[in-house]
Amino acid sequence: MDALIPMVVCGMLFIGLPWIIFHYVTQWKRARGLSIEDENLLDGLHDLARRLDDRLATIERIVAADDPNWRPSVPDRSERTRETSRDADDWQGRA
């Protein structure tokens, strides 16, 4: 009985502890990047933001045509398009 306790402690020390450490290391490596679902969600949100930007530009053009004194609070559409494409390149790592 006296020899059983040191054997259990050695087993826990040399088998159990490394097993727990390697288990969590592999979990951290697996969870390091974005999942496919996360990437698809980000792509969908990016497309939605682009469509909303186009809708806003359309509304601004309609209001500007109806009221010549109205001025949009954002820069001209051509400037926004250049900035948006540059931001998209930065986001996708092409800059």
- 9-26 per-position pLDDT tens digit: 888 889 999 999 999 999
For residues 73-93, average pLDDT: 59
Q: Structure pTM?
A: 0.46
pLDDT at 28: 86
* Per-residue confidence (pLDDT) for residue 95, from 0 to 100: 42
Contact 60, 72 (CB under 8 A): yes
Please give the average per-residue pLDDT across 39-62, as a whole number: 95
* pLDDT level of residue 41 (50, 70, 90 thresholds): very high
Instruction: Map tokens 């999942």 to a residue.
Output: 35
DSSP H helices, 12-76, are 17-30, 36-66
pLDDT at site 32: 77
φ, ψ at 34 (rounded to 5°): -80, 145
The lowest-confidence range among 20-24, 33-37, 63-67, 77-81 is 77-81
